[in-house]
């Protein structure tokens, strides 16, 4: 099974060392690519390009920058794409993103569909374009039908593949893929996997992004209390079981949200071995 990893751009020397250590441990799994997020929490300050360069030049990995269109102008986005092209990037993760703190306007490109279309119109097939997908519905969508319609529009605008938000209910993924296929989407839809090391942090993330923690899983993780070691072992078993079911159901790849930590992802991958 092919794998890929997501990292976030470090901002301090200590964080950069942490990322290097994590990458050294994970790249033994020969990821098909790695992605680098575009700032954190809507921050206007992004270290994405320098992190992409580090992953490409030092670690020899196919690094794909996340590119957020909200709040930016067409010229700014075009300039960034030209910079990535000059760096040798051949893959982009195209997202709408969050409006940067303190900014009140969405910008010239309002949706990821608009960004995908700009890339295709001005850069042709220079980039493999990934977009986001939400098996459990985007938290800002009016309803599931509207959300699927927006996803289909992104794919028809020229996306090559999609990476989903993380989830712990495999049926949600399979249902989403089935509905997307029925709507004419033929491109790969890669499940996003979030290993678990801290239940409080996971619950906070999930509330913000609309990912559901199944009741059975949440109650079980909660029951471990301060026993972090047992929680991590149980969580790795649960996430590995999810990955196996996805593999058996035909998922094309697994994309791990690492949070720049090696151990939680390694624990899952070692179980899958």
Residue 142 has pLDDT above 90, yes or no: no
Query: Which stretch of DSSP H or E encloses residue 83?
Result: helix 74-87
pLDDT at residue number 105:
53
The mean pLDDT value for 157-175 works out to 97
pLDDT band at 117 (very low <50, low <70, confident <90, very high): very high
Instruction: Give the C-alpha distances (Å, rounded to integers) separating 35 from 9, 91, 125, 179, 184.
Output: 10, 9, 19, 26, 27
pLDDT tens for residues 106-115?
567 778 999 9
Instruction: Give the C-alpha distances (Å, rounded to integers) separating 247 from 131, 134, 230, 244.
Output: 21, 19, 26, 5
Measured distance CA(57)–CA(111) in Å, rounded: 32
Measured distance CA(53)–CA(114) in Å, rounded: 26
Residue 99 has pLDDT above 60, yes or no: no
Q: Which fold has domain 3-272?
A: TIM Barrel (3.20.20)
Which long-range contacts link 136-140 to residues 24+ away (Cβ below 8 Å)? 136/165, 136/167, 136/169, 136/172, 136/210, 136/211, 136/212, 137/210, 138/210, 139/208, 139/209, 139/210
pLDDT at residue number 57:
95
Measured distance CA(235)–CA(271) in Å, rounded: 11
Angle at 9 between CA 4 and CA 212, to 5 degrees: 60
Residue 103 has pLDDT above 70, yes or no: no
> Closest by alpha carbon to 91, among 131, 130, 146, 52?
130
The mean pLDDT value for 32-40 works out to 86
The mean pLDDT value for 81-85 works out to 96
pLDDT at residue number 98:
64
pLDDT band at 138 (very low <50, low <70, confident <90, very high): confident
3-state secondary structure 194-247: CCCCCHHHHHHHHHHHCCCCCHHHHHHHHHCCCCHHHHHHHHHHHHHHHHHHHH
pLDDT at residue number 40:
46
Residue 120 has pLDDT above 90, yes or no: yes
Query: Which stretch of DSSP H or E encloses residue 118?
Result: helix 112-123
Average pLDDT, the chain: 92
pLDDT at residue number 44:
44
Residue 16 token pair: 């950069």
pLDDT tens for residues 187-234?
999 999 999 999 999 999 999 888 999 999 999 999 999 999 999 999
Residue 72 has pLDDT above 80, yes or no: no
Q: Which of 72-76, 153-157, 164-168, 240-244 has the lowest mean pLDDT?
A: 72-76
DSSP-derived 3-state class of residue 192: strand
pLDDT at residue number 137:
87
pLDDT tens for residues 40-62?
444 445 689 999 999 999 999 99
* N- to C-terminal Cα separation, the chain: 10
Are the CB atoms for 119 and 80 separated by under 8 Å? no
Instruction: Give the C-alpha distances (Å, rounded to integers) separating 114 from 154, 178, 185, 250.
Output: 8, 25, 18, 30
pTM: 0.93
Residue 2 has pLDDT above 50, yes or no: yes
- Active site positions, annotated: 6
Within 10 A of 44 (CB to CB), how many other CB atoms are there? 12
Residue 229 token pair: 């070691």
């Amino acid at each position: 099974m092919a794998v890929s990893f997501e990292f976030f751009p470090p901002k301090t020397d200590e964080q950069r060392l942490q990322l290097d250590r994590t990458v050294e441990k994970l790249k033994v799994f020969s990821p098909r690519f790695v992605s680098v997020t575009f700032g954190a929490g809507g921050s206007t300050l992004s270290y994405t390009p320098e992190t992409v360069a580090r992953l490409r030049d030092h670690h020899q990995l196919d690094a794909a920058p996340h590119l957020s269109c909200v709040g930016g102008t067409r010229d700014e986005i075009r300039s960034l794409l030209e910079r990535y092209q000059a760096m040798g990037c051949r893959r982009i993760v195209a997202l709408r993103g969050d409006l940067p703190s303190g900014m009140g306007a969405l910008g010239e490109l309002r949706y990821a569909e608009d960004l995908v279309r700009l890339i295709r119109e001005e850069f042709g097939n220079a980039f493999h374009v990934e977009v986001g997908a939400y098996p459990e519905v985007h938290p800002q969508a009016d309803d599931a039908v509207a959300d699927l319609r927006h996803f289909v529009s992104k794919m028809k605008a020229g996306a090559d593949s999609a990476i989903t938000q993380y989830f712990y209910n495999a049926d949600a993924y399979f249902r989403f893929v089935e509905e997307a296929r029925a709507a004419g989407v033929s491109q790969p839809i890669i499940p996003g996997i979030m290993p678990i090391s801290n239940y409080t942090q996971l619950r906070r993330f999930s509330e913000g992004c609309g990912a559901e923690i199944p009741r059975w899983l949440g109650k079980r993780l909660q029951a471990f209390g301060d026993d972090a070691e047992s929680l991590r072992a149980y969580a790795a078993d649960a996430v590995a079981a999810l990955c196996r079911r996805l593999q058996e159901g035909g998922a094309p790849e697994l994309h791990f949200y690492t949070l720049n930590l090696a151990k939680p992802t390694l624990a899952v991958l070692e179980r899958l071995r």
